[in-house]
Structure 1
Amino acid sequence: MPTVHARPYDFPFDPAHTAVVMIDMQRDFLEPGGFGAMLGNDVSLLRPIVPACVRLLALARAKGMAVIHTQEAHDAQLADCPPSKRARGALSCGIGDPGPLGRVLVAGEPGAGFVPELLPQPGDVVLRKPGKGAFHATSLDAILHAQGITHLLIGGVTTEVCVQSTMREANDRGYECLLVTDCAASYFPQFHAAVVEMMVAQGGIVGWAAPLAEIERAFA
């Protein structure tokens, strides 16, 4: 089995039982005019991880690992969007409202789509989620069990919100998770660094962390 040199200790995994989970690499979070920008964030801080994410997905497909893309997006009626979520930020243009990239975080709108470099490929799974964690109100657990997945390599945005939430949910369900550190990012670099430390603290209380180069080296 490949073994990744990771923190807090080595992470062995069987590619046949491993999935790459790419969290919310959507235009609404990474492009000007999207929800991330409306919240007052500098979306350019997320763009540098895109090339590494492309490499990770290419490696996963080449090695026969499952690939799952999550997409935070609500139905057109916002029936799956709690009022408390929509009210966050007291924005003049918030979830469900018309914006530069279409209705904000609504399935089927341009902003809810993935950035061009990371469009899902045939054989990938696309999982729409209404919340921050990818297991909440989705079939992700059933999908993973059906494919015999036990290990997850996780990337995406943002590290302290949807990535961390998903990793904690997965840990509670018994999955072994590795955060690919240079395939995840935050609008606040200090938050990204803090989450990495939280994941690997206390002997890996939530999981492991390593850069993409260590995963590539494990296969080499």
Structure 2
Amino acid sequence: MSKPGKGVVKAEPAPIELDFARTALVIIDMQRDFLEPGGFGETLGNDVSQLSRAVKPVAAVLAAARENGLLVIHTREGHLPDLSDAPPAKVERGAPSLRIGDPGPMGRILIRGEAGHDIVPALYPLKSEIVIDKPGKGAFYATELGAVLKQHGIENLVVCGVTTEVCVHTTIREGNDRGYRCVALADGCASYFPEFHDLGLKMIKAQGGIFGWVSDSASLLEALAAARMAS
């Protein structure tokens, strides 16, 4: 499959030209444990329905990425069954109704291989797509993501998923420090706290784009379509 060439994506603080052959779509932690009742997000007292608004925009972008042959990477936050990669400081933090590793309605909370750890059906990865299992908030920490991006010659990351101010933000910060041009899709991200979502996006694009650019699904789809027609 031939990939589209370069396209200009409407974004803030300024439009950004992306070489789509060197661009990866990174979908952060769209997991049942975060988006569905009974998962880790709800154990923390959150309204998990706040995250569902990102599913439709992400699905549209995912379909376009597949159609245009972009590299697609899904991430999942979770831990080994013996919790050897889950620091006590993380497991013990806060006052959830269930802690990481405890049995829940979708299996053990935030444990790899359990139903709750997996990605929601609407965005489920194809067998050909890369799934990065990460023990922390950022997708680069203790994972193979950096090596995968280098192997595929990736320079630009289009990032979406949940939650905006935690795992999405951390991944964009990590990517920025590693020299990647990072674009967050505003409507493809969501938070349990709408005000954190808004502030998180403002922080990314502040000061001339200190961490990256902020766009939306419609703008990316428009740029992809234009680049496809031009190629």
Taking structure 2 as the reference length, the TM-score comes to 0.94
Residue type of the alignment partner of 2:101:
G
Q: SS of the counterpart of 2:138?
A: coil
User: What does 1:1-220 align with in structure 2 at a 5 Å threshold?
Assistant: 1-220=6-225
**Contact (CA 8 Å) 1:15, 1:64: kept in 2 or not?**
no
CA deviation map 1:110-135 (0-9, x unaligned)? 10011110110132100000000000
Task: Give the deviation of 1:92 after TM superposition.
Answer: 4.2
TM-score (norm 1): 0.98
Distance 1:194 1:7 in 2: 14
Distance 1:26 1:216 in 2: 24
State the secondary structure of the residue aligned to 1:25.
Answer: coil
Task: Could you tell me which runs of 5 or more consecutive residues in structure 2 were left unpaired when the two chains were aligned.
Answer: 1-5, 226-231
**Is residue 49–residue 182 contact of structure 1 (8 Å, CA) maintained in 2?**
yes
- Identity among equivalent positions (%) equals 54
Looking at structure 1, the residues matched to 15 and 179 of structure 2 have their Cα atoms a distance apart, in angstroms, of 18
Q: Is the 1:23–1:163 Cα contact (8 Å) retained in structure 2?
A: yes
**Cα separation, 2, equivalents of 1:105 and 1:53:** 22
1:3 partner letter: V
- The amino acid across from 1:140 in the alignment is L
Stretches of 4+ aligned residues off by more than 4 angstroms: none
| Other-structure match for 2:3 | none
Number of residue pairs the alignment of both structures matches: 220
User: How far does residue 194 in structure 1 lie from its aligned partner after superposition?
Assistant: 0.2
Distance 2:93 2:126 in 1: 33
Mapped contact 1:176–1:207 kept (Cα < 8 A): yes
- State how far apart, in whole Å, the 2-side matches of 1:32 and 1:92 are: 13
| Unaligned ranges ≥5, structure 1 | none
1:69-128 CA deviation, whole Å, 9 max, x = no partner? 000010100000000000111334110011111100000001001111011013210000
For residues 195-220 of structure 1, the C-alpha deviation after alignment (integer angstroms, 9 at most, x for no partner) is 11100001001000011111111123
Structure 2 CA distance, aligned partners of 1:92 and 1:122?
34
Letter in 2 for 1:71: R
- Aligned AA for 2:98? C
Counterpart of 1:127, as a letter, is I
Kindly indicate whether the alpha-carbon contact (under 8 Å) linking 2:44 and 2:97 is maintained by their aligned counterparts in 1. Answer: no
Kept in 1, the 8 Å contact 2:73–2:129? The answer is: yes
